[in-house]
Structure 1
Amino acid sequence: MLASYPIQNLKGVGPKQLEKLQRLGLSTVQDLLFHLPLRYQDKTRLTPMENLLPGQEVLVEGAIFSQHLTKGRRSSLLVKIQSPGGVFLTLRFFHFHYRQAQQFTRGKTLRVFGEVRTGPNGFEMVHPAYQFIDAQNPPSLEDTLTPTYPTTEGFGQASLLKLMKQALALLKQYPLEELLPAELLKAENLPDLNKAIVTLHQPQPDDDLGLIKRFQHPAQQRLIIEELISHQIGLQQLRQLEKQRLAPALPPSRMASRLIASLPFTLTAAQQRVLQEIHQDLSQAHPMQRLVQGDVGSGKTIVAALAAIQAAEAGYQVAIMAPTEILAEQHRNAFTEWLEPLGIETAWLSGKMKAAEKRHTLSRVESTQAKVVIGTHALFQESVNFDSLGLVIIDEQHRFGVHQRLSLQQKGQKIVLEDDNIQTNESTEYHPHQLIMTATPIPRTLAMTAYGDLDLSVIDERPPGRQSIDTAVISNEKRGDVMSHLAEKCQQGVQAYWVCPLIEESELLHAQAAEVTATQFADRWPQLRIGLIHGRLKGDQKAQVMRAFKAHELDLLVATTVIEVGVNVPNASLMIIENAERLGLAQLHQLRGRVGRGSLKSHCVLLYQPPLSETGKARLQIMRETDDGFRIAEEDLKIRGPGEILGTRQTGGLQFRIADLKRDGVWIPLAQYWSAQLVENDQAEVNKLQERWIGEKIEYQHA
């Protein structure tokens, strides 16, 4: 009943309030009950001022000792209170009225709640909640934690608390349906749904407040598990849907062995294992949905090429999509070198091509003359028509939006299978196989949650001869010394990168522009052969610079982060990353991966602008300690959280109400198991769980 009980039926919800509640995603009383506190304020006990520590959120009492106004660019009201033992605490107000200031007279007793900070004259609280109390007859303390809810502009905590009390009263009359199996609740010693909800909105004195603050209370874990199960159900259903679709079954390739025999290197055991998994998928009559993770330099491109050969040899077309012109150009060169000697024609499609060249390429694609088509987002365009698209390979797919991935997949839905064993008709849709690659290792818990609809392969072995990269962290104050060292190394035959995060000067961000840096090197070391590359160059200009660098016609490449992925110059063995503290761990790791790709011992220098934040220190320390992308990914998850790591793929999809992948990853295997049980045995419960937790957002999972 509460799942359909309109929130506007609650007292105090008019048209304007309803509009604000709907901005929070609240339309029914059930929505309101699942609008859980972000955190709790502990006003159940007083903390002596003698025991205060910075960062604590506490309730304290003290007598007003003084108050005065400070003048300047930002005036403030300072109220100093004193404990019976003579310890002082300053209350700082930036927004106040003069009548408010007059209330703070010496000797009155205040009860104050806020966060303790270190101020110019000892501990202080900024804009604390406060009340004047009678020291001889003080009011009783709260007997439960005070919840703090997510709010929206114009609808504060007090209004939400009033509505929540009404919703909880209705919950007692009309309990919500229990949707989790009784054996699960018993095995994990978890409370029923309604008891868990009441506990989280109104924690009692005998509840473990410490567990609640750490999100380890059984009531929280009960809801976390249900939400994770509902999410996993969506992935299970998507897997089932994919297995019901038809795709071309591609027989094993004979040409693949010819390419492998011609390579100047031997495939690693990890590459061979992943190839076997891909070949097995491609031989099935339903679409492959496989994510291949491999650290920088692990050899994903040759794996993709061998998969492409299997599709092309069977008579189908392959689309290979990369997020940047540089990476697409690298793929173009590699695939052309490997495939055209086998008689497999490739085509290149870029958004910056001239009209006549583009028309010619499109006709080759439409006529199936071009079997393997490589490009950027230009492959999505309506004018691109594949005749028989059998395999889609997407590199660094987290950089593409959900709709972009779908639009490319849909270009293969008109395939007509030439197979006497399959009864076809005009209304049957066929889907291309999909191979998704990323050089950004994704932590296991995150991959199980965000990519649970995909089969996962990991290339966890470096090619023979690849060496680890030594990394140093150096203050920007020694930038001149680093430049001199680099110039000396280049004169000895070393090739180097110098990466600048910005194209133009910005004093605010303390970042040297790529153009300025290139000029500085040219002025001081005119004998150096210097290339410059950044996002504002045209595609053919970037390609020209990259070809010159790869041919060792340049000693130094000064670049922005456009070289983050796809650049493969085995002779380059030195990289300097300027203002490294401004970049995330994954980006730093990707940039560093541009060196160490040959047999030369490689080095990376991370220049930073002091002072470093705690997060900045943690990032750079991890980079110095390891070049293992999987460990770096785990640390990145701890620092940044899942949303930023996944980027655009899951926009709107991983906005959990209570679950947190960093904190609750331990529950994901359990959620996977029970979601599979429910999907197999109880479709009615499955639908109700999906509606309760995901609702209208179910559609994102079908991307």
Structure 2
Amino acid sequence: MARKDGRAVDLNTQSLSSLPGVGPRVAEKLAARGLLTLQDLWLQLPRQYEDRTALTPIRALQPGVAAQVEGTVEAVERGFRYRPSLKVAIGDGSHATLVLRFFHFRAAQVAQFSPGARVRCYGTPRAGGHGLEIVHPSYRVIEHESALGEQLDPVYPAIEGIGPASLRRLIGLALDKLPDDEALELLPRAMRDSLRLPSLREALLTVHRPPRDADVAALLAGTHPAQRRLVLEELLAHHLSLRRQRIALQQHRAPALAGKGRLAERLRDALPFALTQAQHRVFEQIRHDLAQPHPMLRLVQGDVGSGKTVVAAMAAMLAVEAGKQAALMAPTELLAEQHLNNLRGWLEPLGVRVAWLAGKVTGKARAAVLAEVASGDAQMVVGTHALMQEGVAFNDLALAIVDEQHRFGVHQRLALRDKGAGGRVGVDAVVPHQLVMTATPIPRTLAMAAYADLDVSAIDELPPGRTPVQTVALSAERRPELIERIRGACAEGRQAYWVCTLIDDSDEVVAQAAQSTFEALSAALPELRVGLVHGRMKAIEKQATMRAFKDGTLDLLVATTVIEVGVDVANASLMIIENAERLGLAQLHQLRGRVGRGSAASSCVLLYQSPLSLLAKQRLETMRQTHDGFVIAEKDLELRGPGELLGTRQTGLATFRVADLARDAGLLPQVRELADQLLAESPDIADRIVQRWVGGAARYASA
């Protein structure tokens, strides 16, 4: 950052075209990877390091251990038997020989390797036909004595169209323009000192140009103090951006639903089951939020079958009692319809009008529902994303409930919120309270990072009487036994699922796998009614098959993982998951949750292909040991990391440049403290930290 007229001038936004060698074509290639400014290059961190500060005698080389050697060319051989190849034998004073092998080379390269030429090269040796060899080493021919490097060489993620040496040069030029400490630093010194972390400038220079005595193991593990410094600021920026959105939302007004709660009590008393302690606790948290004159934004997470819908229905009754409306939006028509049936069964006896609005409600029926919603006669409105379409106007929406929120885009949640504001979104707009539900338990550490703008409640207790699902892992060779097991279960009047999974394959291939499994099982079990559901089918066909299974007119449902979320078939007691080793724990747990919904003993069979990797063994063992979604989520985070667990689509959480939530979760409590301190004492610094790391992406991060 340079100083001009006594004010700080940000170099962060300076375009890369200011660097020598960055013309329009190079700029375009860098931009394709999101590298637009000097700061983007500062934060383009090495993925590994090469130690060229010393030479290793050829005799001391070890297979698999990267090293730098220097030797004299002893022999050169070109071959063309299968494909062009070039072998160069070099020797040194340790009286040993190393072969350098190339498959891609030009005539000029061959000419460089004349016998007697001196070559310095770097690479990872492996066992070859005649001793050790290095395939495609990085090398240079040395004509005079050449000094060794003073620091470790960074290796950056590859960028198409830009060679490693060019990229290293550009990042070096960008680093030469790093402002001084005072101009670059945003974190107060006392804060850094208390955490024993270097300044930002020092951290960047250490990570890009580590001294020869640097702790390489810590750098490669991402735990070096210089990296922790960068991680801390990035996590802080994301946390602050979410918190600022929350603060912005709290500026709006919302209807204070502070009634006596008689309608919610009548609903609770009429239920054919008693609420669990966890349900009571979470309802009280929601009730407290709804009584405030600013909008609630609460996430309720709980395992499949923990009773989130009942709690949401009781919350909706607080809105209805106040003479206002509540809406519940679900991602699929079948799931929305399931909510509709439950809510009608619970609420209509209390005199509450429940309306249904989905894509298939058309013509006069749709016009009638829209009129009820607009007049306020419909007190509870259930539907799919059809609730957010133009033409849907609420009379007085006070509570918007979103089920399985990660299946909706952020824009869709914003749209439902804005419906309640009557389309007005100024600070003085009255917006509805928002209640978000998910059956995908999220580890506490991740929830702290991903949902800093939400209050998080957990229904961490299952209703009594739920029979735990017995889980077994079987090798795929035992398929024939399973087919007999399905025959037996269906003969007793039960139903079964057979889930086909293929990873990293197109929908086409998965659909084909499901299709062929469907055909094989139909042939093996001619007496059973077998249905098929996969992602390539039209929505209307999928819905019809799922409904037939729910109604009991199908015995066995062959499906892809599209059935993961939500459908409740109490009579299904057997779940078979093929290629279970290829799925993450959270997904396996969701699928297993489709059975064990009734009183019958239920089983989940995890069919796997041998041999199992260590990771797959750990996953299947975890599934056998526990049914607790929160324990499974923590284990999933440990085994897979947060990227897969959350996915940016699922949370709106931006992808991180340097932070790794699984590795860096321990910093989150400090991040929260620092965020509180900055928001209270230095809001302008908080703004600049967000701008540096998140920029404009903050707007929709968690609407």
- TM-score with structure 1 length normalisation? 0.88
Residue aligning to 1:605: 605
Q: CA deviation at 1:285?
A: 1.0
Contact 2:375/2:395 (CA < 8 Å) preserved in 1?
yes
Alignment equivalent of 2:250, drawn from 243, 248, 254: 243
Q: CA deviation at 1:448?
A: 0.9
Residue aligning to 1:422: none
Contact 1:290/1:434 (CA < 8 Å) preserved in 2?
yes
How far apart, CA to CA, are the structure 2 residues paired with 1:121 and 1:506? 43
Q: CA deviation at 1:147?
A: 1.4
Amino acid aligned to 2:321: E
How far apart, CA to CA, are the structure 2 residues paired with 1:590 and 1:23? 37
How far apart, CA to CA, are the structure 1 residues paired with 2:310 and 2:420? 23
Q: CA deviation at 1:593?
A: 0.9
**3-state SS of paired residue (1:386):** coil
In structure 2, relative to structure 1, the CA distance for the partners of 1:226 and 1:538 (3 Å cut) is closer
Q: CA deviation at 1:656?
A: 2.2
Contact 1:44/1:144 (CA < 8 Å) preserved in 2?
yes
> Deviation string for 1:112-159 (max 9, x for gaps)?
43356688999765433233458xx87443221111234533333323
How far apart, CA to CA, are the structure 2 residues paired with 1:463 and 1:89? 68
How far apart, CA to CA, are the structure 2 residues paired with 1:53 and 1:13? 40
In structure 2, relative to structure 1, the CA distance for the partners of 1:521 and 1:6 (3 Å cut) is closer
How far apart, CA to CA, are the structure 2 residues paired with 1:292 and 1:120? 62
Please give the residue correspondences for 1:455-466 in structure 2 after superposition, counting only pairs within 5 Å: 455-466=455-466
In structure 2, relative to structure 1, the CA distance for the partners of 1:240 and 1:143 (3 Å cut) is same
Alignment equivalent of 1:41, drawn from 43, 47, 50: 50
**3-state SS of paired residue (2:647):** helix
How far apart, CA to CA, are the structure 1 residues paired with 2:137 and 2:421? 61
Q: CA deviation at 1:461?
A: 1.0
Amino acid aligned to 1:201: H
Residue aligning to 2:334: 326
Contact 2:286/2:315 (CA < 8 Å) preserved in 1?
yes
Contact 2:652/2:701 (CA < 8 Å) preserved in 1?
no
Residue aligning to 2:309: 301
> Deviation string for 1:570-592 (max 9, x for gaps)?
23221101232343332221111
Q: CA deviation at 1:645?
A: 2.7
Amino acid aligned to 2:18: N
Q: CA deviation at 1:192?
A: 2.0
Residue aligning to 1:691: 691
Alignment equivalent of 1:69, drawn from 72, 79, 91: 79
How far apart, CA to CA, are the structure 2 residues paired with 1:71 and 1:507? 41
Residue aligning to 1:274: 282
**3-state SS of paired residue (2:178):** helix
Contact 1:398/1:648 (CA < 8 Å) preserved in 2?
no
Residue aligning to 1:449: 449
The runs of 5 or more residues in structure 2 that have no matched partner are 3-9
Q: CA deviation at 1:449?
A: 1.0
Matched, 1:675 2:675: yes
Q: CA deviation at 1:440?
A: 0.9
How far apart, CA to CA, are the structure 1 residues paired with 2:455 and 2:540? 37
How far apart, CA to CA, are the structure 2 residues paired with 1:346 and 1:57? 68
Please give the residue correspondences for 1:462-501 in structure 2 after superposition, counting only pairs within 5 Å: 462-501=462-501
In structure 2, relative to structure 1, the CA distance for the partners of 1:385 and 1:83 (3 Å cut) is farther
In structure 2, relative to structure 1, the CA distance for the partners of 1:71 and 1:181 (3 Å cut) is same
Alignment equivalent of 1:228, drawn from 215, 220, 235: 235
Please give the residue correspondences for 1:183-222 in structure 2 after superposition, counting only pairs within 5 Å: 183-222=190-229
How far apart, CA to CA, are the structure 2 residues paired with 1:493 and 1:484? 15
Residue aligning to 2:409: 401
**3-state SS of paired residue (1:171):** coil
> Deviation string for 1:174-220 (max 9, x for gaps)?
85332212221121112222222222222112332222222222222
Amino acid aligned to 1:14: G
Amino acid aligned to 2:79: L
Amino acid aligned to 1:608: Y
> Deviation string for 1:285-341 (max 9, x for gaps)?
111100111122212121122112222222222221112222222212211211111
Contact 1:450/1:650 (CA < 8 Å) preserved in 2?
no
Matched, 1:9 2:18: yes
Q: CA deviation at 1:246?
A: 0.5
How far apart, CA to CA, are the structure 1 residues paired with 2:294 and 2:189? 36
In structure 2, relative to structure 1, the CA distance for the partners of 1:49 and 1:571 (3 Å cut) is farther
Residue aligning to 1:316: 324
How far apart, CA to CA, are the structure 2 residues paired with 1:609 and 1:538? 31
Please give the residue correspondences for 1:572-651 in structure 2 after superposition, counting only pairs within 5 Å: 572-612=572-612, 615-649=615-649
Residue aligning to 2:5: none
Amino acid aligned to 2:221: R
| Equivalent residue pairs, number | 691
**3-state SS of paired residue (1:141):** coil
> Deviation string for 1:508-541 (max 9, x for gaps)?
9698633433333333333223333344556565
Please give the residue correspondences for 1:104-123 in structure 2 after superposition, counting only pairs within 5 Å: 110-115=119-124
In structure 2, relative to structure 1, the CA distance for the partners of 1:664 and 1:325 (3 Å cut) is same
**3-state SS of paired residue (1:224):** helix
In structure 2, relative to structure 1, the CA distance for the partners of 1:371 and 1:51 (3 Å cut) is farther
How far apart, CA to CA, are the structure 2 residues paired with 1:293 and 1:10? 49
**3-state SS of paired residue (1:233):** helix
In structure 2, relative to structure 1, the CA distance for the partners of 1:501 and 1:366 (3 Å cut) is farther
Residue aligning to 2:41: 32
Residue aligning to 2:367: 359
Contact 2:571/2:598 (CA < 8 Å) preserved in 1?
yes
How far apart, CA to CA, are the structure 1 residues paired with 2:585 and 2:147? 49
Amino acid aligned to 2:522: A
The runs of 5 or more residues in structure 1 that have no matched partner are 417-424
Contact 1:325/1:376 (CA < 8 Å) preserved in 2?
yes
How far apart, CA to CA, are the structure 1 residues paired with 2:128 and 2:509? 26
Deviates more, 1:297-306 or 1:452-461: 297-306
Q: CA deviation at 1:31?
A: 4.0
Amino acid aligned to 1:665: A
Residue aligning to 2:170: 163
Alignment equivalent of 1:337, drawn from 333, 342, 345: 345
Q: CA deviation at 1:19?
A: 3.6
How far apart, CA to CA, are the structure 2 residues paired with 1:85 and 1:510? 57
Amino acid aligned to 1:347: A
Q: CA deviation at 1:59?
A: 3.5
Contact 2:333/2:384 (CA < 8 Å) preserved in 1?
yes
In structure 2, relative to structure 1, the CA distance for the partners of 1:11 and 1:340 (3 Å cut) is same
Q: CA deviation at 1:682?
A: 1.1
Contact 1:389/1:415 (CA < 8 Å) preserved in 2?
no
**3-state SS of paired residue (1:464):** coil
Contact 2:410/2:702 (CA < 8 Å) preserved in 1?
no
Amino acid aligned to 1:634: E
Q: CA deviation at 1:661?
A: 1.0
Contact 1:304/1:393 (CA < 8 Å) preserved in 2?
yes
How far apart, CA to CA, are the structure 2 residues paired with 1:614 and 1:103? 46
Residue aligning to 1:433: 433
- TM-score with structure 2 length normalisation? 0.88
Alignment equivalent of 1:153, drawn from 160, 170, 193: 160
Q: CA deviation at 1:686?
A: 1.7
Amino acid aligned to 1:404: Q
**3-state SS of paired residue (2:256):** coil
Alignment equivalent of 1:387, drawn from 372, 395, 408: 395
Query: What fraction of aligned residue pairs are identical, expressed as a percent?
Result: 52
Deviates more, 1:508-517 or 1:281-290: 508-517
How far apart, CA to CA, are the structure 1 residues paired with 2:55 and 2:416? 61
How far apart, CA to CA, are the structure 2 residues paired with 1:686 and 1:139? 48
